[in-house]
Structure 1
Amino acid sequence: MENKDVDEILKQKLEKGARISPVLPEGIKNYLIDIDGTICDDIPNEEPERMATANVYPDALKTCNRWYEQGHIICFFTSRIETHREVTEEWLDKHGFKYHSLLMGKPRGGNYHWIDNHLVKATRYRGKFTDLVEKEVTIQVFKD
Structure 2
Amino acid sequence: MAHAAPRSRGTTRQVRPIRTPDIFDERVHRMAQVGIPVVLGLVYGYWAAANRRGGGPVTGWNILFGFVTAIVFIVLCLAVAAFAPLLKRELHSLTKSAFAGASVGFLYSQSGDSVLRSAALGIAVTAGVFGVFFYRYYTREDAAGNRIR
Please indicate the TM-score interval, normalised by the length of the shorter structure.
under 0.3
CA radius of gyration, larger in: 2
From the two aligned structures, give the one with the greater helix fraction: 2
From the two aligned structures, give the one with the greater strand fraction: 1
With normalisation by structure 1, the TM-score equals 0.26
With normalisation by structure 2, the TM-score equals 0.26
